[in-house]
Amino acid sequence: MSQHRAAGNRVTPGNAARKPGAGRSSAKHRVARRNTPSSTQIVGLTAALAAAAGAVGFSHSTLASPTQANSAVNLAALSLDNGQLSGITTARIQARQLATRDSSRVQLAANDTNKKQAAAAALAKARAAKLNATQALTAKRASALALAKAKADAAEKKLRESATRCEMMISGYHITATFGQGGNRWARNHTGTDFAAPIGTPIRSVMKGVVIFADWAGPYGRQVQVRHADGTVTWYNHMSKFSVSVGETVYAGDQVGAVGVTGNTTGPHLHFEVHPDGGEAIDPMPWLRNHCGLNP
């Protein structure tokens, strides 16, 4: 629109001359006069603009007079300004903006992808590190556990092989007769302690020792004798079977036989005797307490 007005002002000379007081010679007036284009200049300018108008769709041959040409130029300028030119410019701007926006979007998307990839990589790295740490810890624990087990096994072996360690000879029993008890079942007073338990209940050596007897022994039935490190001999009687042979080393808790009813007995039980230095039998109960810490 501003181009249109400017063109209009330029091709309408003499406006200043028609204003009141136009005849006075003022600097302002002279400047206005000087700047007013001559008719030759107007025609030249009009022709140039008409040529431009022709380029945007107006035929040069249709322009019959400078006035008509002038109108066509104005129209062309208007047309350029409001029509194609404005349209082209807007399209270009929009295209450029779109391109810029798209490129920004692509850049943003790329940045986002990079960030996500970096985050994923960092997460994977952290997870891998954590896994490695866990594996290292597991290995360390396994190693420590193996070492602890080895130590425990060694300690157990040492304890098992200990000459003074004791284990109870039988489980699930009840005492039916004590040492020194009189009665018509025995030729002398009772020489041991009776632990009644079901037939087949395992009977174990009370301490580490060597089997010195494993045979039938008259009123004792099947009997095993074990000599221990301090020379004490323990007897296991009335058994249903033997689990060891003479000369065999047994550890505390090793089975030597099983509860039976062999020999002079009215019911299944272990008749247990203790013979210090292989001599006369003593009361097993204080011996078990004092030598083994057992309190049957």
Residues within the interface to Zn ion (CB under 5 A): 194, 271
- CB of 266 or CB of 295, closer to Zn ion: 266
Closest CA to 79 of 60, 61, 56: 56
- CB of 186 or CB of 213, closer to Zn ion: 186
| Exposure on the CB side of residue 154, measured as CA atoms within 13 A | 6
Residue nearest to Zn ion (CB): 271
**Tokens 């009141």 -> residue:** 20
Q: How far is the CB of 204 from Zn ion (least distance, A)?
A: 18
Which run of H or E residues covers position 211? strand 209-216
- CB of 192 or CB of 208, closer to Zn ion: 192
Q: How far is the CB of 271 from Zn ion (least distance, A)?
A: 3
What are the b/e assignments for 257-274, b being 16+ CB within 10 Å? bbbbebbebeebbbbbbb
Cβ atoms of 261 and 240 within 8 Å: the answer is yes
What is the identity of the amino acid at 63? Answer: L
Q: How far is the CB of 176 from Zn ion (least distance, A)?
A: 8
Distance CA 190, CA 146 (A): 51
- CB of 14 or CB of 267, closer to Zn ion: 267
- CB of 194 or CB of 254, closer to Zn ion: 194
Closest CA to 209 of 150, 292, 139, 147: 292
Q: How far is the CB of 183 from Zn ion (least distance, A)?
A: 10
Q: Which residues contact 54 (CB under 8 A, 6 or more apart)?
A: 60
Q: How far is the CB of 198 from Zn ion (least distance, A)?
A: 17
Strand 269-275 with 202-204, pairing: unpaired
- CB of 209 or CB of 268, closer to Zn ion: 268
Secondary structure class of 251 (helix, strand, coil): coil
Q: How far is the CB of 174 from Zn ion (least distance, A)?
A: 13
- CB of 208 or CB of 271, closer to Zn ion: 271
Residue 45 burial by CB count (10 A; 0-12/13-18/19+): exposed, middle or buried? middle
- CB of 72 or CB of 194, closer to Zn ion: 194
Q: How far is the CB of 236 from Zn ion (least distance, A)?
A: 11
Between the alpha carbon of residue 77 and those of residues 3, 43, 128, 267, the distances in Å are 7, 16, 71, 135
Q: How far is the CB of 234 from Zn ion (least distance, A)?
A: 14
DSSP 64-118: -SHHHHHHHHHHHHHHHHHSHHHHHHHHHHHHHHHHHHHHHHHHHHHHHHHHHHH
